[in-house]
Amino acid sequence: MKLKRLNKAISETGFCSRRDADRLIEKGKVRVNGEIATLGERVRPEDSIKINNKLITKKSNKIYLAFNKPKGITCTTDTLIKSNIVSYINYPDRIFPIGRLDKPSEGLIFLTNDGDIVNKILRAKNNHEKEYIVNVDKMINSSFIKKMEDGVEILNTKTLPCRIKKIDNNTFKIILTQGLNRQIRRMCHALGYEVLKLKRIRIMNIKLGDLKLGEYRHFTNGELERILMLIKNSCKTEEASNI
């Protein structure tokens, strides 16, 4: 029988992180099969886990959504926050976003109920690509492109090398494998440019395509098979990045 640490089992439901799960366990708010849980406890797949007397484990299908987030929507599961992504989508099952796309930005973001997949996608060291189209307030020149590609000093670090293609005088396409907080906006600002519009059009193998703004779709079987293959050997131990 395969056993799993209780905090990991809780985090994989998407209820909270492992660290927060440990805090709940310490406070006596977690029960396994009706008994108060203990730190380090291991559970079986069929065990009943309740937090504050609410059952959080049940047999359910994994959900993987691609959503075209409009500007003004906040990527949080906190339904008390106005215009939160969960309330906006109003999906019938509990889901949560993988990473973030800041409020002024739009485009592709994933949502799921599979807590195990999240960190594998987010880790910068796993080199998973994210592609954006960016419009800025000034004319783009070759110096700007080279500096962006080579790395820019922001947040007390230098960004990793990336790929950029100029689309027109004020618009470029950028492919990152990193996800620092508001990274593209900060990079542009450091070079004297301001972002007017930012749209994510691809994460790994999944493209935004013709998905309409404010709408979502399920991953195709082919997309899911490919993404699971890409993250098969991905590390899960770094601090999560904000995208």
Q: Which residues are catalytic?
A: 102
CA atoms within 13 A on the CB side of 92: 2
Backbone torsion region of residue 22, taken as left when φ is above 0, otherwise alpha when ψ lies between -120 and 50, otherwise beta: alpha
Helix (H) / strand (E) containing 106: strand 106-112
Residue 46: Cβ within 10 Å count: 9
CA–CA dist 200, 212 (Å, integer): 13
Q: Which of 149, 154, 131 is nearest to 204 (CA)?
A: 131
Exposed / middle / buried, residue 232 (Cβ in 10 Å: 0-12, 13-18, 19+): exposed
Residue 113 vs residues 42, 143, 240: alpha-carbon distances, Å: 21, 43, 17
The Cα–Cα gap between 212 and 137 comes to 26
64-69 and 216-218: which strand pairing?
antiparallel
CA–CA gap between residue 21 and residue 133 (Å, rounded): 38
